[in-house]
Amino acid sequence: MSVAGQGREMRWTVNGLELAGLSWGEPGGCPLLALHGWLDNAASFAVLGPLLQGCEVVALDLPGQGRSAHRSADASYQIWDDLPEILGVADALGWDSFCLLGHSRGAIISTLLASAFPERVQQLVLLDAVSPQALPQEEFPRQMRRALRDKVALLARQARVFADTGQAIATRTARGLGEDAAALLVPRSLRACAGGQCWTTDARLHGASPVKLSEAQIEAVLQALDMPTLLLLAAGDESSPGRWMQEHARRHIASLQVAEVPGGHHFHMEAQAAEVARHVLEFMTAAQGAAG
């Protein structure tokens, strides 16, 4: 596995919300904004970020995760709720346009942002996700009910206490995350509390979303992506979700490249991170050459 770079700590205040992040590379390099997956944090890119030579990589702790603040009790964590803060960070960095890299839930958020503001996203890189799965219209009332009940329960949930960081890491590895990746991600998502360590993650991120996109809305989002787009998928068998994602993306994204990378869902944090970096850099170089 490539040696991970700790990165430089960064802080912003956007719309009254305190946000944190990490950066790698030299300022003035190709601007690349990186968005992590569900329940992860900016350290998701601690392996890949230093390998993206020539780029200034800035990875966010999305609201309610890592070292960023939680949203207020009346707010929510739908996939589009983070877009104003992401744009605010880009503005604070002075990036009128930039490359966008997202993993998992962060890839879905990246797709939404790029579709709404295509003039700001030079190239789009998606790691093992493209869009949410559509919800049938007839499911809307039941979905809303689940979300409302979840919010009440999760606001009242008591934080789990771990005796030490190792115990918290073990909970992530027990759910299938590799030990090296867990050792990078978990410490950034912990805080000291009475009796040991607690998650910094807002419990509401575990709740159902009250509204989900329809198939027509998802298709409109993908069809609005007019920038060069790279989709990297974890290699799997014919029944894996990657096959569905690939076919769905090919039908609707005009300028799309797709490649598979060995490994699991967090392949960008595993031994093949150098291969992921090679794919990303070759894609960005080709896209910049075509634009020039």
Q: Which residues face 197 on adjacent strands?
A: 162, 192
**Three-state DSSP string of 28-67:** CCEEEEEECCCCCCHHHHCCCHHHCCCEEEEEEECCCCCC
Cα separation, 197 vs 59, in Å, equals 24
Q: Of these residues, 104, 115, 131, 209, which one is catalytic?
A: 104
Please list the helix, strand and coil fractions of the chain in percent, rounded to the nearest 5, in that order.
40, 20, 40
Q: Characterize 201-212 residue by residue with b for buried, 16 or more Cβ atoms within 10 angstroms of its Cβ, and e for exposed.
A: bbbbbebebbeb
Q: Which residues face 196 on adjacent strands?
A: 193
Tokens of 139: 């499911």
Cα separation, 265 vs 77, in Å, equals 22
**Active-site annotation holds for 2:** no
* Placement of tokens 């200034």 in the chain: 56
Find how far residue 58's CA is from the centre of its chain: 12
What are the catalytic residues?
A: 104
